[in-house]
């Protein structure tokens, strides 16, 4: 470990593979100065990246929004990810196929003297690393989790997976302070998303989610849940969802790369449905596990 206590885990930085304890960037990197960059988090099951093409498509969309050139092709990104997955597995003395991991990718605009304007012609800073994936404990799977609500005070470009995550940090800390699993946010009385997860409700057998617009980050599980619902014969709909509808839902679900799919059984101290994970969650979670095995 270095002076910051970082382990010697494998990482990639600007064209070279190194380790976290050795990697360095300029203090004038715009990701450090302005949060001027984007990121992706790719889950890896049995050594294979899950829905990799969808993650690369979202990375490309976010880069385009910020006018940062994509520094690699999808094939080149895959090469970096595969190398990191193998390297991390070696730190565990395991073959990659015996590991589940989480690969973090970050691209910033690059290094320049401080100026708010988008400096043209910079070489993007590219960083990636892999570590263990930490799924929710079995007790949370069995009983569901409690969450709290808050007004969504973040900016109106939530569809960009930007590294400037101070709003999410503050929202997530609210749930930590309350001993809750997540903060579910509402903008003008309508559901947006969680601090670090998309939010879904189930009512009368219909799975409902917020629209894919600038107020919500389109999680990779948007497309996956639509597919899982189709496979299970469930109706899937995206529309504005009021706060009252969330509290009156039969089920509330969270989704992200590490949680996969998780039932919310208590919200602001009030039970959701019967206070237990529901049958739609059970169906979709089972389908999610099958999708992981077939990826």
Interval 4-41: pLDDT, tens: 889 999 999 999 999 999 999 999 999 999 999 999 99
Pick from 138, 108, 142, 118: nearest CA to 27: 108
Give residue 294's pLDDT: 81
**97-119 per-residue burial string, b: 16 or more CB within 10 A, e: under 16:** eebbbbbbbbbbbbbbeeeeeee
Report the DSSP pairing between strands 125-132 and 101-108: antiparallel
Report the DSSP pairing between strands 235-238 and 251-256: unpaired
Rounded Cα distance between 183 and 195, Å, is 6
The reply to whether 292 belongs to the active site is: no
Which residue is listed with tokens 């629209």? 211
Element (H, E) at 207: strand 206-209
Catalytic: which of 157, 161, 203, 259?
161
Say if CB 199 and CB 253 are below 8 A apart.
Answer: yes
Interval 254-281: pLDDT, tens: 999 999 999 999 999 999 999 999 999 9
Which residue is listed with tokens 């494998």? 10
Report the DSSP pairing between strands 260-267 and 251-256: antiparallel
Provide the angle, in degrees to the nearest 10, between the axes of the packed helices 74-91 and 52-65: 120
Pick from 91, 199, 94: nearest CA to 152: 199
Interval 43-68: pLDDT, tens: 999 999 999 999 999 999 999 999 99
CA–CA distances in Å: residue 276 to residues 145, 181, 248, 258, 265: 9, 15, 14, 21, 6
Segment 116-136 mean pLDDT:
96
The distance in angstroms from the start CA to the end CA of the chain is 35
Q: Whole-model pTM?
A: 0.95
Say if CB 36 and CB 109 are below 8 A apart.
Answer: yes
Interval 202-214: pLDDT, tens: 999 999 999 999 9
Interval 204-250: pLDDT, tens: 999 999 999 999 999 999 999 999 999 999 999 999 999 999 999 99
Segment 143-165 mean pLDDT:
96
Rounded Cα distance between 207 and 24, Å, is 45
Residues forming a β-bridge with 108:
37, 125
Give residue 295's pLDDT: 67
Interval 162-205: pLDDT, tens: 999 999 999 999 999 999 999 999 999 999 999 999 999 999 99
């Amino acid at each position: 470990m270095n002076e910051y206590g970082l382990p010697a885990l494998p990482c990639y930085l600007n064209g070279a593979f190194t380790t976290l304890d050795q990697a360095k960037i300029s203090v004038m990197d715009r990701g450090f100065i302005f949060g001027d960059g984007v990121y992706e988090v790719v889950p890896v099951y049995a050594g294979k990246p899950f829905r990799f093409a969808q993650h690369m498509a979202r990375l490309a969309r976010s880069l385009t929004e910020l006018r940062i050139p994509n520094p690699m092709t999808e094939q080149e990104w895959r090469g970096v990810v595969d190398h990191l997955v193998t390297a991390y597995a070696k730190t565990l003395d395991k073959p990659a196929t015996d590991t589940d991991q989480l690969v973090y990718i970050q691209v910033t605009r690059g290094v320049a003297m401080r100026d708010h304007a988008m400096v043209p012609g910079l070489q993007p800073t590219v960083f990636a690393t892999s570590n263990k994936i930490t799924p929710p404990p079995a007790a949370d799977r069995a009983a569901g989790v409690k969450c709290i609500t808050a007004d969504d005070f973040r900016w109106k470009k939530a569809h960009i997976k930007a590294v400037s995550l101070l709003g999410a940090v503050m929202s997530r800390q609210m749930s930590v302070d309350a001993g809750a699993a997540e903060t579910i946010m509402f903008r003008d009385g309508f559901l947006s998303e969680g601090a670090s997860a998309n939010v879904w409700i189930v009512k009368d057998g219909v799975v409902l989610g917020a629209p894919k617009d600038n107020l919500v980050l389109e999680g990779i599980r948007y497309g996956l849940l639509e597919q899982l619902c189709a496979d299970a014969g469930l109706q899937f709909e995206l529309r504005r969802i009021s706060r009252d509808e969330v509290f009156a839902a039969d089920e509330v679900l969270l989704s992200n790369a590490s949680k996969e799919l998780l039932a919310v059984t208590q919200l602001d101290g009030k039970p959701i449905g019967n206070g237990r994970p529901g049958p739609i969650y059970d169906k979709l979670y089972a389908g999610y596990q099958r999708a992981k095995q077939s990826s």
